[in-house]
Structure 1
């Protein structure tokens, strides 16, 4: 039955696995884009539109496809007008994951079942959710706690002061709110104007001027240690291009000096400088015992007109089409040779790269940590049923599914924790079918322990939470 307790669970074995082993486990969300201040301050929401639609570029993208004008997506329309535009869009999303997620989000945490969301039910949903949101106990942090989130890692620039994380930690909450070190702007020396503006922020964060590469690396190492002092366990890096070569320290110093003087940097040198910085960050991560995440394959802002009018991260990015097996292998090999290859998660955005990345992970396993190299969860455009299924099949066939660290939200929405439920249901569906078909042992205890590990235990141990 659609969106029932047994949604997606099409065998008796799948139902036993989910309800007996996965459903009630806590959630470790090791990669998100949630607002740390909203969690620390338990932001209150006047209505579901603020909770559902603010900043959610997944939904904005769907609404535009349905012919909804921009003012009802990211613009100045009222909350109710935006909500009604979303209500008109959802019935058109049948077979899109947003259709499933929307109804799961009404089910948890609002407890709304037995209805299909659309214009006919919009008033009911608006009124019933507003009553809950306005009655207390449904702030941003409350929602995470209702969804049994044990730890959430935000995504943070090295210059961020992490005051919200410190505020939350000082309050002694059981929910862990941890930062993630995302130094992409430190590497982006090809855009000298933007890089120089960011360098000013870095100088302000460390309290001294930076005139050369040594000072630059020193400042970044200090910020890395500052993040570690605030509980950080992970770094995150977006790789939109891959160059096979890096720079020597002397060459990197020359490129830094040129950029510091405001001179344009050739694309080839900028890409090599980025690799030099990636090698540096790998040493920092390995030294601190962190996990490094590499998100590969986003085509950023292909719609220049939309970028100019709305800015980045508004739902216009796409999947890039470039080959990178060899340069990525060289990046990993440089760190492996130096003894500074940290635990690493590799994510692809282009589905054609599934097998390549899964196999490459195996090439750098070194026996020091179980599944040190992880083929990361289906991400962004791939975090739908087919994408998750293909990912799990790839990990199973070319890696070790039982050691996989499980799902993440990669989201700006506080209701997106149903994606963990969605993933767990799909995992149990796959394993339940295999049990019923005689492909794996029809042993609830044995396979159930594996489900629990993938859903929760592996992440807790891998990230040292």
Structure 2
């Protein structure tokens, strides 16, 4: 019987063990998409306690705690302390077996805090609380130290076009910070014209650029200025978060002006209006990314804020978002083809929250490989509800069989937590398990130089070429 999360966790063959320990384990981390706070890195934030560090804002944990029957006051309530919330989390941890949170939480305890072999429960809550808090109080357990412990060499944060990027500038000028922290251009607020917050956002963007955005052309002018600003601050990627993929041929300027004015005034928009506007803005932005040599990431397929009562009480991103199953293939292919026709399709990473669309994503990516760079259009790693063992293995298997796994950019955390980086270890162990099994079964040569290089590329090399290097 294997020890819990032991040295050879997930490594079920001798080949897998060798691939992980000799090739994967020590690779640096390029975490090219996350939601970490650059201010915390710039100021090397110290974290108050393990309760707040683990549970503040973590909707993965909130969702699981509700499922386990924990009262909301011990999840998001203001009337309880983080010690009380931590105790509630520890008490229900035994109920999490089979959920990736069970593995992630213990890997974080073991890799950061040296609590190897301790199993979190009500019985061990005091020990875990005291040990973690003693270490979090030490300078080396600040935001930068936690990243350095996991050998993180590059981070891609997620930033609004209206952000001034002051903390990215501060990080870049700090000689004590060796890792690259690149902003990522996230323009959702500028093209989701149907959202009630759209007029207010346009006013905020106008304040940032210093002129009124009272026309569609002025909006594009403002976005171009912000693209230039991000580029000057080291940005090399953009990210579009789409609940569903909409696309229509880009209409003329008069029609776009009409739709923009409707949105700016908070008036009723038809689905055709929304589709035309989103398509036009995204085509414009994607062409600008291509001209700058940036990477475009597209996250699609979430159905959000499904529980009205909790949304009204707490707002978005509180653990009531699920998987959408609307059409993807046709609008996605049309969007990418529109860009490709003018040879202005940037390097692209596609993520679908709906795992039944994995094959659609992989085969769509295959349609737009042009020989200019390996894997120019990527099928991104298992995202959100799918970044667990089955979801990641399914995504990689389909990528291997319908595309090229060797060109894969590998894992990212997509996390707001500075303690989330053992998820890269989780992914790397799974990757080595899969390739080790292929070697053992004779599905590929028993050639460690061949397999080991492939592992190193997927764990680090491919992503480093795309996101780390200038």
Q: TM-score range by the shorter chain?
A: over 0.9
Partner in structure 1 of residue 448 of structure 2 = 444
Partner in structure 1 of residue 353 of structure 2 = 349
Q: Say yes or no: does 1:97 pair with 2:100.
A: yes
2:249 and 2:87 mapped to 1: Cα distance?
51
Q: Say yes or no: does 1:417 pair with 2:421.
A: yes
Q: Say yes or no: does 1:311 pair with 2:299.
A: no
Shift of 1:243: 2.9
2:340 and 2:308 mapped to 1: Cα distance?
39
Are the counterparts in 1 of residues 66 and 72 from structure 2 also a CA contact under 8 Å? yes
1:349 and 1:170 mapped to 2: Cα distance?
37
| 3-state secondary structure, aligned to 1:137 | helix
2:367 and 2:186 mapped to 1: Cα distance?
26
Unaligned runs of 5+ in 1: none
1:57 and 1:311 mapped to 2: Cα distance?
12
Deviations 1:68-107 (A, max 9, x none): 1122112221011010011012110111111111111111
Over the aligned positions, Cα root-mean-square deviation in angstroms equals: 1.1
TM-score (norm 2): 0.97
Partner in structure 1 of residue 125 of structure 2 = 122
Q: Say yes or no: does 1:12 pair with 2:14.
A: yes
* Alignment counterpart, residue 271 of structure 1, candidates 272, 275, 280: 275
Are the counterparts in 2 of residues 190 and 266 from structure 1 also a CA contact under 8 Å? no
Partner in structure 2 of residue 131 of structure 1 = 134
Alignment of 1:349-368 (within 5 A): 349-368=353-372
Shift of 1:261: 3.7
Shift of 1:313: 0.9
| 3-state secondary structure, aligned to 1:115 | coil
1:304 and 1:46 mapped to 2: Cα distance?
32
Are the counterparts in 2 of residues 62 and 89 from structure 1 also a CA contact under 8 Å? no
Q: Say yes or no: does 1:338 pair with 2:376.
A: no
Alignment of 1:21-40 (within 5 A): 21-40=23-42
2:262 and 2:349 mapped to 1: Cα distance?
33
Deviations 1:152-187 (A, max 9, x none): 111111001111111111112111111100000111
| 3-state secondary structure, aligned to 2:197 | helix
| 3-state secondary structure, aligned to 2:17 | helix
Q: Say yes or no: does 1:329 pair with 2:333.
A: yes
Are the counterparts in 2 of residues 242 and 271 from structure 1 also a CA contact under 8 Å? no
Are the counterparts in 1 of residues 30 and 468 from structure 2 also a CA contact under 8 Å? no
* Alignment counterpart, residue 241 of structure 2, candidates 220, 238, 243: 238
Partner in structure 2 of residue 88 of structure 1 = 91
2:26 and 2:236 mapped to 1: Cα distance?
25
Partner in structure 2 of residue 53 of structure 1 = 55
2:262 and 2:82 mapped to 1: Cα distance?
48
Deviations 1:228-277 (A, max 9, x none): 11111110001212334133232212211233344322232012210111
TM-score (norm 1): 0.98
Q: Say yes or no: does 1:108 pair with 2:114.
A: no
Are the counterparts in 1 of residues 251 and 276 from structure 2 also a CA contact under 8 Å? no
Shift of 1:124: 0.7
Partner in structure 2 of residue 179 of structure 1 = 183
1:247 and 1:205 mapped to 2: Cα distance?
27
Shift of 1:135: 2.5
Q: Say yes or no: does 1:153 pair with 2:156.
A: yes
| 3-state secondary structure, aligned to 2:371 | coil
2:54 and 2:245 mapped to 1: Cα distance?
35
1:7 and 1:196 mapped to 2: Cα distance?
51
When structure 1 is superposed on structure 2, of 282-291 and 169-178 the one drifting more is 169-178
Shift of 1:464: 5.0
* Alignment counterpart, residue 68 of structure 1, candidates 53, 70, 77: 70
1:257 and 1:114 mapped to 2: Cα distance?
61
Residues 464, 167 of structure 1: alpha-carbon distance in 2 compared, 3 angstrom cutoff: closer
Partner in structure 2 of residue 224 of structure 1 = 227
Shift of 1:388: 0.6
Deviations 1:203-238 (A, max 9, x none): 111111111111110000100111111111110001
1:107 and 1:235 mapped to 2: Cα distance?
34
1:279 and 1:305 mapped to 2: Cα distance?
36
Deviating above 3 A after TM superposition, structure 1's stretches of 4 or more consecutive aligned residues are none
Partner in structure 2 of residue 428 of structure 1 = 432
1:70 and 1:238 mapped to 2: Cα distance?
28
Deviations 1:273-295 (A, max 9, x none): 10111101111100110000011
